């Protein structure tokens, strides 16, 4: 089993990339979390030394690999059947190119528009340098879609590592309402609607922690992704005796669709409250 070190889900864009490289390609992983900018983060990094930043993974043999490019290539080597990279040689080279440029560039976008999955702004007054980064990203997306993406909503048709790398960019464009053309807007929407992305965002909400310095002084708007099903915390009893995620006895409850459902702890309940339809295990009992 792999272990993956991540930071706060709401804010850590690099952690999101690393997690998607496992979840979107069906590679089992245990997640280890640490609060950014706190002694808890130092504790986590000590467990993954000599890595200094998240994400970092420990492979089953026990050694550590840091940096998302290295993680992607290591997983692709170890799990060729998972299909992290496109099958076609030209497409595969282009996907690596896009990931490398994402990994090394777009510092104005990163600095001005830090990922914050808890907020979206109707207007963020982007500087020209930020708009230039977005235009370059659009050019890369257009190139990939035109050459290789005709068979699906993603850059290379089906989901690849390149899409995992650009998921936080999509979140920034959505969160800060940055102007993009229709094709790029559709690609951003594909990320916001992706069930794995929605689960990550829901888990961030369930952590109930705000890094206040990520908040910007811009007018806010509702998150532009799919609207979550209505649900609320409540008391039991519930229609289910076991948590849909762990199978443990239920202790925390929510109401949705006129029925009460139970979970084994507050986090399981709250991640479901945030976006019930993102969780297949919950929807099985909801639809039963």
What does the pLDDT look like over 196-217, one tens digit per residue?
Answer: 999 999 999 999 999 888 989 9
Helices 68-78, 13-23: inter-axial angle, 10-degree rounding:
10
Q: How far apart are CA 86 and CA 123, in angstroms?
A: 36
Among 73-87, 202-216, 233-247, the minimum mean pLDDT is found in 202-216
At residue 68, does pLDDT exceed 90? yes
- Summarize the confidence of residues 87-100 as an average pLDDT: 97
At residue 150, does pLDDT exceed 90? no
> How high is the pLDDT of residue 92?
97
> How high is the pLDDT of residue 23?
98
At residue 78, does pLDDT exceed 90? yes
Tokens of 78: 């170890």
> How high is the pLDDT of residue 170?
98
Residues counted in the chain: 288
Domain spans, the chain: 2-82, 89-198, 232-287
Query: Percent of the chain having pLDDT more than 70?
Result: 100
- Summarize the confidence of residues 29-55 as an average pLDDT: 96
What CATH class does 2-82 carry?
alpha beta
Q: Mean pLDDT over all residues of the chain? A: 97
Confidence of residue 149 (pLDDT cuts 50, 70, 90): confident
- Summarize the confidence of residues 211-227 as an average pLDDT: 94
> How high is the pLDDT of residue 162?
98
> How high is the pLDDT of residue 282?
98
Confidence of residue 268 (pLDDT cuts 50, 70, 90): very high
What CATH class does 89-198 carry?
mainly alpha
At residue 113, does pLDDT exceed 90? yes
């Amino acid at each position: 089993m792999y272990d993956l070190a991540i930071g706060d889900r709401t804010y850590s864009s690099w952690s999101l990339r690393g997690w998607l490289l496992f979840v979107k390609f069906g590679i089992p992983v245990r997640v280890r979390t640490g609060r950014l900018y706190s002694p808890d983060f130092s504790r986590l990094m000590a467990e993954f030394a000599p890595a200094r930043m998240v994400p970092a993974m420990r492979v089953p043999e026990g050694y550590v690999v840091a940096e998302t490019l290295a993680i992607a290539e290591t997983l692709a080597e170890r799990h060729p059947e998972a299909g992290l990279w496109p099958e076609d040689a030209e497409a595969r080279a282009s996907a690596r190119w896009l990931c490398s440029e994402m990994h090394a560039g777009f510092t104005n976008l990163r600095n001005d528009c830090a990922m914050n999955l808890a907020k979206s702004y109707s207007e963020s007054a982007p500087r020209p340098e930020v708009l230039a980064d977005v235009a370059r990203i659009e050019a890369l997306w257009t190139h990939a879609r035109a050459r290789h993406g005709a068979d699906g909503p993603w850059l290379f048709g089906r989901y690849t590592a390149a899409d995992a790398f650009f998921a936080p960019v999509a979140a920034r464009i959505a969160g800060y309402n940055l102007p993009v053309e229709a094709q790029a807007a559709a690609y951003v929407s594909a990320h916001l609607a992706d069930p794995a992305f929605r689960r990550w965002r829901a888990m961030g909400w369930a952590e109930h922690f705000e890094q206040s310095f990520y908040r910007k002084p811009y007018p806010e708007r509702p998150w532009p992704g799919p609207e979550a099903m209505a649900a609320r915390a409540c008391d039991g009893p519930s229609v289910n005796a076991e948590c849909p995620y762990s199978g443990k006895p239920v202790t925390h409850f929510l109401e949705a669709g006129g029925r009460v459902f139970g979970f084994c702890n507050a986090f399981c309940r709250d991640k479901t409250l945030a976006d019930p339809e993102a969780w297949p295990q919950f929807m099985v009992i909801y639809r039963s």
